[in-house]
Amino acid sequence: MNTIAENIQKLLAELPPEVKVVGVTKTRTTEEALEAYNAGLRILGENRVQEMAIKKNLMPPGISWHLIGHLQSNKVKQAVAAASVIESVDTLKLLRLIDREAVAQEREVGCLLQIHIATEETKTGFGLNEVMQTDWAAVAASLSSVTICGLMGMASFTDDMVRVRAEFKTLAATFRQMREAHFAGSRHFREISMGMSGDWRVAVEEGSTMIRVGTLIFGERTKR
C-alpha cells in the first residue's frame, strides 16, 4: 500500500503542471492532512465548514482552504472566516451573502460558480439556462470583496465515461462562453474545477484546471 506522499508524487507525475490538485480531506484526520501538506500539497478541500475550521486551526499557515460542499446561508460567516476559495456557490443570493460577509470581515474570498451538469437532481448548482441569461459582468462589478474565479461542476455518479465526458465538455464550453461574453478582460476568471478520483483523467482531457481528489491520495474512506 502506497503512502500518502507516494500517491501524491504519482498523481503529480501524471498531471500536466498547470492543473492544480485540491486534496479532499473530508473525514480524514488532521495527521493525514498534515502528511499531504508535508508532501507538498498546499490546496486542501473540505465539504463541511466546521470541519474545515477545526483543521485550519490545527494545520500550518499557507494552505489555501477550498470549501467544496454545499454551503447553507447560516454557515456563510464561518465559511468566509475559514475558506480562501468557496467552490460551491450555487445561487446569486449566496454569492451576495458571501460578499457582504467578506466585507464585514475585511477578507478577500475567491468563488467558483457551481454549474449543474449531472443527471442527478440531487446535485446543486446554477442551471445552464440561468447561468447563460445572467449578466455576470454586472454581477462581478457589484461585488466588493469576492472575486469570481471560474466554474465548478460534478459529473453524474456513473461508470459511463461517455456521459461523464459529455458533461465535462458542457462545463468547459459554458466556461468559454461566459469568459468571452462577460470576463474577457478578467485576469481572475480562469478556473474550471472538475474531476474527482474516478474521472480526473477525462476531466483534464476536457480542460479542467483543478481536480478535487481524496481517495486517490488518502485511500478508501473510513465510514462515519
How many Å apart are CA 117 and CA 128, to the nearest integer?
Answer: 8
pLDDT tens for the 224 residues of the chain, in order: 789 999 999 999 999 999 999 999 999 999 999 999 999 999 999 999 999 999 999 999 999 999 999 999 999 999 999 999 999 999 999 999 999 999 999 999 999 999 999 887 767 899 999 999 999 999 999 999 999 999 999 999 999 999 999 999 999 999 999 999 999 989 999 999 999 999 999 999 999 999 999 999 999 865 54
Residue type, 143: L
Q: Is residue 224 part of a domain?
A: no
Whether residue 112 is contained in a domain is answered as yes
State the Rg of the chain over Cα: 17
Q: Rounded distance, CA 158 to CA 58, Å? A: 36
Question: Is residue 133 assigned to a domain?
Answer: yes
**pLDDT at site 68:** 97
In this prediction, residue 120 carries a pLDDT of 75
- Of the candidates 155, 145, 53, which has an alpha carbon nearest to the alpha carbon of residue 95? 145
How many domains in the chain? 1
The pLDDT, as a whole number, for residue 190 is: 97
- Amino acid type, 138: A
Residue 210 lies in a domain: yes
Half-sphere exposure of 90 (CA within 13 A, CB side): 18
Whole-number pLDDT of residue 174: 97
Domain contains 132:
yes
Q: Is residue 223 part of a domain?
A: no
Identify the domain containing residue 184 by its residue range. Answer: 4-218
CATH number at residue 111: 3.20.20.10
Q: Which three cell numbers stand for residue 37?
A: 501538506
Report whether 150 contacts 187 (CB < 8 A): no
Q: Taking the model in full, what pTM does it have? A: 0.95
